[in-house]
Structure 1
């Protein structure tokens, strides 16, 4: 794919403009020096529209755009369950978890676990998240992003890695979360426009210029098997999406871990002006989630008709990008860069937040000044990105499916994390030892099941390990104590009421999903 001079000019304008915007939105009033609340929590001032847009920008990256389009090519619309079930998860997180986190006035997820359990749980989970964010999430997004740009442009992987790292750090390192969240608005606009444009051109091409509705109807007729939302056991991709489990099984555990207890996602809501603003932002994010399959899955399904001889499914989205004319192609390519860079900047900011607030300040330098905390945060962000650049290709280059590496590794710990938070919030008798044992059991049980029950679908394994870890945590807690834990959360002190607009939007999202699954069951 060859980018024209106009395309390159648009991409250059976007990159320089975003860096300038990042510095502009993160400027401080004269005489005010940026402190830790400004840098890590955006001064607790984020409005709902910034929260919702930033949630999606942090989530959607190369592995979603390229990977989910490839999954759409291979197995069809069923992969959209990851997006659509996430919409309902966001609503539940907004109603039942965010009120608790905001009430506790926390910066990080490990900090909450110390308030609920003890410092051991905070330290263990902080070290775990730092390891996962640097070695798995940051590294994989950087590598898959570089791979996507390499596939489209032919630039060397190393050059792509360095470009993405420098670009994402350049616009976010000075301003912290405020720069990340407010520039994400531009990123999401680009992402939605670029994705919808590729979908439009793909469907219109299928219809020979007769329009997208005609193209969609033709697609339904040509490949009806690609529109099964619930896969049957005889489907060759059943192991990836095991039937009804996408609605009632392990996907819920994966979604709650990601959308409810994941630092680089929840940090946006923690930085809201207030609870109502956080909840409005989460509803906005849930609505955008309904739209995502149009952007990342439909082009993949369209490629089945337009390019049926692709060597690899992940070539589907780049192949459909070839339909975009010069000039507009620069915008679509900028949208791809936007998706990657926003995820990278979100992760580096969360890495710096956890290290600074959960390890450096409490354990290394309790008397650190606000200025010192900001300096440490910036330094850690640069260090994390440098490590990711250095290890990305050696670590992930040997994997045929780097996305599978992410799923397998994080899936070992996901069930235990959800058990810790769910029982910690809603069951007063949960003890610190129970939380630690559940976390350790999650990895151990996942490994045992993977080795001795390999035919068990990945998603079902996560659901089973979650139930086992919950049972273990309950048994340990009951053996240790007969009464509430001293740090138990008083739910009577938490306001779980939501606004009329939140409730109406929630009903609308649920009804839309019922309609979609009823149509393509």
Structure 2
């Protein structure tokens, strides 16, 4: 496939603007570490919300959704749609707590909530584990998608894609810091959404597909359309709906959907002007992320089933693609090769935008862990602001190099998604409860982290997994692997919690005085402080968590209704679409009323 002059113009102009933004803000971003990693905590909700959406719109996301739809149908997306519950819990309960903490990174929370050597170890270990190891794996999955897109659409060798895509990204990320990332995300959001919608509209109407009605009626597509799994298929219902909605959303740690908030989502909440802006940003993100953005990808994935019904047909059309890179996820890139000049350039620019947004965020977030939670904490506590910024820029480059090398060794993004999901199983409940239950200590988190990892690895080992737990063994059905990890990890960390000493009275009282979490889980600490004439309660507000949970449930009804309604409007099911649109409007009005009772308007 050859690009026209118009296509190249789109891409060159886009690159130029992005680099200009990075250079333009570099001087102010380099003024201090707070400016470099949090933009001085002055960001408005709408800019942070757009940045969250742009960040989670990576090059591997359309590939992942395509793989899911082609393998398990539209309903297969419940494996990540269930995380809406996590996201809205963060919006209405945890966003204000994070902003109130005023920490530089979410890992700094460990030494605010816990004390002593265990807290120091937890912060240092997770800085390396998340900031380097986990972060590099995540970025490598995004880069793998870029490799596949480059191979399919432009016939590029993997190393050429890695070097060309990575060089621009790491340059503006290292120069511009967090402000450069967020400002470019504003541009990247509109480019990425425009490209995705334009591609979906065009590809559904190409002659091979024949339009939306012909697509819906195609025999390869008809059984993939349902938004809910087939309720007569017990395994599908359990795997795609029951486990995600009943267990997965609260129990698993996954980047961008951490129970209780965390990672780059927490970074943006910490960068907000105030608590209301933090709440507004995360709510806007969840609406866009779940209700609207998936549908252009889903439509392209469904259309690909008409043009490329199986992996063999993809290989036949693109024989130069390496065998170890073949998979259903390639179908998205394969469909994009059919775009006309102009639109092709826009879509390529949108995919580059998606790649750059995600990678730049991961780089800045991971670098913040290395600088604040490892370098400053363990190596040079007295480092100047200039030195901290320099270390941040160097670590940004190093992280990019590591992820690029790993990407050349990977094959499939969905495989990595599943591994990461299971690897964090069972730890989520701690991230939810640690704000509201005084008894959780550093050893609770340390135990859960290692227990979850070890159990997950054992289940994946061929020497143990197939013999004891594999599907069909009669001992452990395939769908039960995730709940088993969650249950085992939960029992282990609860046991460790009661077998170890609670945090010191001083640590607990200081945490309560700063955060004001409230609730029955802190009643013992409050009573003891009152008996000692120590003031730790400095607000007369009612405990906001029950109201927050009510708002979360209304928000779920609102966003899921919007998501279903959008799908049914596209499918041409007008009656169902109108009913769900009505439900969305009513739930939206009720949510606005509940929100007003909780706090002032975010604006």
TM-score (norm 2): 0.76
The residue aligned with 1:259 is: 257
Q: Matches of residues 394-409 of structure 1 in structure 2 within 5 Å?
A: 395-396=409-410, 399=411, 401-408=412-419
The residue aligned with 1:45 is: 42
The residue aligned with 2:489 is: 469
The residue aligned with 2:172 is: 171
Kept after mapping to 2: 8 A contact 1:61/1:141: yes
C-alpha distance in 2 between matches for 1:459 and 1:268? 35
Shift of 1:468: 2.5
The residue aligned with 2:451 is: 441
Match of 2:330 among 315, 331, 334: 315
Structure 1 residues 459 and 145, CA gap change in structure 2 (3 angstroms): farther
SS at 2:365 equivalent: helix
Deviations 1:442-474 (A, max 9, x none): 112223344231326777533332233222222
The residue aligned with 2:594 is: none
C-alpha distance in 2 between matches for 1:54 and 1:341? 12
The residue aligned with 2:286 is: 286
Q: Matches of residues 335-374 of structure 1 in structure 2 within 5 Å?
A: 335-374=350-389
Structure 1 residues 234 and 148, CA gap change in structure 2 (3 angstroms): farther
Q: Matches of residues 48-197 of structure 1 in structure 2 within 5 Å?
A: 48-82=45-79, 84-117=81-114, 118-197=119-198
Structure 1 residues 517 and 7, CA gap change in structure 2 (3 angstroms): closer
Structure 1 residues 413 and 420, CA gap change in structure 2 (3 angstroms): farther
C-alpha distance in 2 between matches for 1:240 and 1:60? 28
Structure 1 residues 460 and 292, CA gap change in structure 2 (3 angstroms): farther
C-alpha distance in 1 between matches for 2:254 and 2:68? 22
C-alpha distance in 2 between matches for 1:44 and 1:506? 29
Shift of 1:236: 12
SS at 1:303 equivalent: helix
Shift of 1:317: 1.5
Kept after mapping to 2: 8 A contact 1:242/1:460: no
Kept after mapping to 1: 8 A contact 2:469/2:477: no
C-alpha distance in 2 between matches for 1:440 and 1:77? 34
Shift of 1:358: 0.3
Q: Matches of residues 26-37 of structure 1 in structure 2 within 5 Å?
A: 27-28=27-28, 34-37=31-34
Kept after mapping to 1: 8 A contact 2:215/2:221: no
C-alpha distance in 1 between matches for 2:502 and 2:128? 31
Deviations 1:370-423 (A, max 9, x none): 111111101110111122233431x32xx4x24413531x23541254243223
| Structure 2, unpaired ranges of 5+ | 316-326, 519-538, 569-575, 578-603
Superposition RMSD in Å: 3.3
More displaced 10-residue stretch of structure 1: 186-195 or 230-239: 230-239
SS at 1:200 equivalent: helix
Kept after mapping to 1: 8 A contact 2:88/2:555: no
Q: Matches of residues 361-510 of structure 1 in structure 2 within 5 Å?
A: 361-393=376-408, 395-396=409-410, 399=411, 401-408=412-419, 410-450=420-460, 451=465, 452-455=468-471, 460-481=480-501, 487-488=507-508, 489-490=511-512, 491-492=517-518, 507-510=557-560
Kept after mapping to 1: 8 A contact 2:6/2:341: yes
Kept after mapping to 1: 8 A contact 2:3/2:341: yes
More displaced 10-residue stretch of structure 1: 114-123 or 260-269: 260-269
The residue aligned with 1:324 is: 339
Structure 1 residues 325 and 249, CA gap change in structure 2 (3 angstroms): same
Structure 1 residues 45 and 224, CA gap change in structure 2 (3 angstroms): same
Structure 1 residues 331 and 483, CA gap change in structure 2 (3 angstroms): closer
| Structure 1, unpaired ranges of 5+ | none
Kept after mapping to 1: 8 A contact 2:53/2:285: yes
Match of 2:248 among 247, 250, 253: 250
Kept after mapping to 2: 8 A contact 1:46/1:271: yes
Kept after mapping to 2: 8 A contact 1:39/1:178: yes
More displaced 10-residue stretch of structure 1: 379-388 or 330-339: 379-388
C-alpha distance in 2 between matches for 1:208 and 1:257? 35
SS at 2:176 equivalent: coil
Kept after mapping to 1: 8 A contact 2:173/2:363: no
SS at 1:259 equivalent: coil
Bigger radius of gyration, 1 or 2?
Answer: 2
C-alpha distance in 1 between matches for 2:436 and 2:382? 34
Deviations 1:60-107 (A, max 9, x none): 212211232232223221233245333343211111222222111112
Kept after mapping to 2: 8 A contact 1:99/1:495: no
The size of the alignment, in residue pairs, is 509
Shift of 1:170: 1.9
TM-score (norm 1): 0.87
C-alpha distance in 2 between matches for 1:96 and 1:327? 45
C-alpha distance in 2 between matches for 1:36 and 1:108? 12
The residue aligned with 1:198 is: 199
Kept after mapping to 2: 8 A contact 1:239/1:458: no
Shift of 1:11: 0.8
SS at 1:473 equivalent: helix
- Higher normalized contact order (CA 8 Å, seq sep 6+, divided by chain length): 1
Q: Matches of residues 501-520 of structure 1 in structure 2 within 5 Å?
A: 507-513=557-563
C-alpha distance in 2 between matches for 1:264 and 1:454? 35
C-alpha distance in 2 between matches for 1:250 and 1:188? 28
Kept after mapping to 2: 8 A contact 1:101/1:270: yes
